[in-house]
Structure 1
Amino acid sequence: MEDDGEQEIWSWGAGTDGQLGTGRLEDETRPQLLRIPSLSSGAVVSSVSCGGAHVIALTAGGGVLTWGRGNSGQLGLGDMVSSLEPKPVVGLEGCFITHVSAGWSHSGFVSDEGKVYSCGDGSFGQLGHGDFQSRCFPDELLFFSDKYVDQIACGMRHSLALVKGCCGAQVYGFGAGKRGQLGISNKIQSVNLPVLSSALEAAEIVGIAAAGDHSAALSTDGRLFTWGRGFGTNSDAFSPQYLPSPLSFRKVALGWNHALLLTDEGELYMLGGKHHGTLSDSERLNATNSLPGATEEDNFRAVCGIKILDIAAGAEHSVVVTEDGAVKTWGWGEHGQLGLGDTCDHTNPQTVTLRHKLESAAAFDVKVYSGSGFTVAITRPHAAAKLTN
């Protein structure tokens, strides 16, 4: 990949379970360029999902690669062994996978036929198979056999599924529900079969997200709904709550204690309390284009004066891509997940240096993804850009 001027995949941060895909069991404080033999034939990674300590990569041809921690079978490779390098999930061969999601120790996959598969830790029912068993191969969720699943989102110990049909979109939750993350209106320890969240039936949901004990959904008109563990001083919500705002959001990224929100106009907003510098003191959205965490006026202008193109949230760190192609990070940095060459926390957004062959970062399209303590970036020259969320 490094020689053909095409797509490049970079990773940095916690690596002691092989989640960086470098072939080494060690943390990396600066971006490392991955070399993936499985992609040598010209296949392109269209998106990535990062979990607690594993990664799922989806190729443009509908194939799936996984690497990292595999102790619960979350890699879908038929065993419960970690992998230091990306490997194809052969159990999904014959399926054209269109969407993937990595949770703390489980994984979900959706095919172009609307079928959904899961594997990994099932001890809280988060695999949705009607039991509490773990699985090392992706198994189809038979509950959805007569439905069309569009997306799956995997959190710490719960999962969400977005189902589309003639009556619109519906969101189902399964797994742990103690903090309200299933969105089923009542407090429940766990469920091992999908349960419908009726509060969203009229909202025309087009996207879902799950991380930690949080859940979120976006509607076609850019409205944001959240449920589960409360952000900052907010109490837990057991049914989806609409976040009143005049803004229209196009993407939400959830961490353990915070959320990043990206508007249609490329403005960045945040929810949550202060944890390792990930967020500001403000607990609510406002009409100002603020970037919480940027306490120095110069740094504030440098970030907020530029349109944001992409966002990602780790456990307690944040990543954004600016309009000029720069990757900026801040928050918890103990494992090098900020990519700045140190293991310090940073309260102000800092620019990560990706060693591109081309002179200007602006010549690249960049997508970013975060796991609990690590970060992945995919870069591709503008002229050949084919990446999707």
Structure 2
Amino acid sequence: MSQGHTKRAREGHSTTPSLKKSKSSLAQTDLLPAPVRETTPGRVYVFGTGDCAQLGLGEDVLSRKKPANLAALNDEQIVDIAAGGMHNMALTAEGKLWSWGVNDQRTLGRSGDEYTPMPVEGLDNVKIVKVACSDSLTVALTEEGNVYTWGTFRSAEGILGHSKEKEVQELPTIVEGLREIVDIATGTDHVLALDVKGIVYSWGNGQQMQLGRRIVPRRMLNGLTPESVGAKGMTKVGAGSYHSFAIDKEGKAYAWGLNTYGQCGNEDPNVENVPSVALIDGLKSETISDVQGGEHHSFALTKEGKLYGFGRSDSHQLGLGYTEEPGSEDPSSHKKAIRHPTLITGLPSIKAISVGGNHTLALTQTGDVYAWGFGEMLACGNGEEEDVEKPLKLTGQQIEKCRVVKVAAGGQHSVILAVLER
């Protein structure tokens, strides 16, 4: 959510958190490699809706129909980007973060102007290698494998809290008990972390079973402490707004959480939640390299560069050109859902994906971007306020001679990182 996500309404003891110990006896050669920071700097471009400072172009720029350069970051050697519901992060080659967008719950990790990118505070002696944004929280992974968070989690009832001790965390703070982390992912209000042994941890709001464990309503704060989801031997994590993913060493994909539209890959329309880690049967024949989700839909990327979509499709979130299976007898078909993982045709080989609330960006091996889905907020970058039914190549005068290296889809906006070389 790589995750970006929307602000839509949900459907559906000790002061130092301790984690459950694993009895793993993995040999050193079985450990996952430490996270490595990107090294190719580029320029940041934004498009979509910016009425809540999402674009970073100043308070007078409320929208951009086509990619527009965020000139404030041109001299900062940006190597990676992340988009949340209404805020963004940019990572420099030196491991520093810049932020812009909504700061109501301190998601920017700093004070100052929301409409202009500025450095995140409190990370002076820390080098970040990856960053992820939820709706009201930001998560950063250091080169040593530590995790920092700031902002807060929300539930259907309002603010849930950052931790049992702190309602809103204003500046980055380390997550105690997590060590040797190699990957992170965020949903709307939950976080996943993967350690070197392939163990997945989750924390945040668990009302839709996205934490992989049952959270008793009167003890919802227990969800703010990271715990293992019971999955071992994993190599990557991903998330949708209210659901979660993991991939194992064989390239098999697993999901858990909200499944009202089949976004967890469970095709039974009567299964509204997947309570624990479950194999996605419809993808068993493929070797998966990444799985990411939006508000109620999901995408799986294969090692061959093919893309499969499943879940909600009423705004053409899946890019299939249709919103439900022809002749569907699904009792929930009025919800426009395609529950079986379905190949997205007409795309070149895909290198990376980023799934926003209801739109998606796909980066090709050659540095082009395709976008589709909900179009009213201009987040697909095609200049039209209409849904994009099938993958459409992103164009624009400012990126004509650029090769895109990173994509980040937010709730109602998009961010790309590109290098000039054509």
- Paired letter, 2:285: P
Give how far 1:104 is off. Answer: 0.5
How many correspondences in the alignment? 348
Counterparts of residues 1-389 of structure 1 (less than 5 Å) = 7-24=42-59, 25-37=61-73, 39-40=74-75, 43-77=76-110, 79=111, 83-122=114-153, 129-131=163-165, 133-144=167-178, 147-164=179-196, 168-184=197-213, 186-189=214-217, 190=220, 191-198=223-230, 200-201=231-232, 204-230=233-259, 232=261, 233=269, 234-244=271-281, 245-279=284-318, 280-281=323-324, 282-285=338-341, 290-291=343-344, 300=345, 303-304=346-347, 306-356=348-398, 359=401, 364-381=403-420
Identity of aligned residues (%): 26
Give how far 1:143 is off. Answer: 2.9
For 2:99, what is the secondary structure of its paired residue? strand
Give how far 1:325 is off. Answer: 3.4
Q: TM-score, normalised by structure 1?
A: 0.83
Note the alpha carbon deviations across 1:368-388, whole angstroms, 9 max, x for none: 1101111111112569xxxxx
Give how far 1:162 is off. Answer: 1.7
- Preserved CA contact (<8 Å) 1:69 1:82: no
- Paired letter, 2:362: V
Give how far 1:348 is off. Answer: 2.0
The answer for unaligned runs of 5 or more in structure 1 is 1-5, 292-299, 384-389
Q: TM-score, normalised by structure 2?
A: 0.77
Note the alpha carbon deviations across 1:41-77, whole angstroms, 9 max, x for none: xx42222111110001112211111110000001000
Q: How many Å separate the matches in 2 of 1:57 and 1:127? A: 25
> What RMSD, in angstroms, separates the aligned Cα atoms of the two structures?
2.4
For 2:341, what is the secondary structure of its paired residue? coil
Give how far 1:230 is off. Answer: 0.6
Return the structure number with greater relative CO, CA threshold 8 A, min gap 6. Answer: 2
For 2:117, what is the secondary structure of its paired residue? strand
Against the structure 1 CA distance between its residues 62 and 181, is the aligned structure 2 distance closer, same or farther, given a 3 Å change threshold? same
Q: How many Å separate the matches in 1 of 2:411 and 2:399? A: 29
For 1:29, what is the secondary structure of its paired residue? strand
For 2:80, what is the secondary structure of its paired residue? strand
Against the structure 1 CA distance between its residues 275 and 131, is the aligned structure 2 distance closer, same or farther, given a 3 Å change threshold? farther
For 1:169, what is the secondary structure of its paired residue? coil
For 1:31, what is the secondary structure of its paired residue? strand
Against the structure 1 CA distance between its residues 334 and 195, is the aligned structure 2 distance closer, same or farther, given a 3 Å change threshold? same
Give how far 1:258 is off. Answer: 0.7
Q: How many Å separate the matches in 2 of 1:250 and 1:259? A: 14
Against the structure 1 CA distance between its residues 130 and 224, is the aligned structure 2 distance closer, same or farther, given a 3 Å change threshold? same
- Preserved CA contact (<8 Å) 1:334 1:343: yes
Give how far 1:32 is off. Answer: 0.9
Against the structure 1 CA distance between its residues 272 and 82, is the aligned structure 2 distance closer, same or farther, given a 3 Å change threshold? farther
- Preserved CA contact (<8 Å) 2:162 2:169: no
Note the alpha carbon deviations across 1:304-359, whole angstroms, 9 max, x for none: 4x212221211111121234433221111111101111211121222221335765
- Paired letter, 2:82: S
Q: How many Å separate the matches in 1 of 2:286 and 2:413? A: 30
Q: How many Å separate the matches in 2 of 1:267 and 1:123? A: 34
- Preserved CA contact (<8 Å) 2:186 2:192: yes
For 2:44, what is the secondary structure of its paired residue? strand
- Preserved CA contact (<8 Å) 1:187 1:238: no
Against the structure 1 CA distance between its residues 135 and 368, is the aligned structure 2 distance closer, same or farther, given a 3 Å change threshold? same
- Preserved CA contact (<8 Å) 1:312 1:369: yes
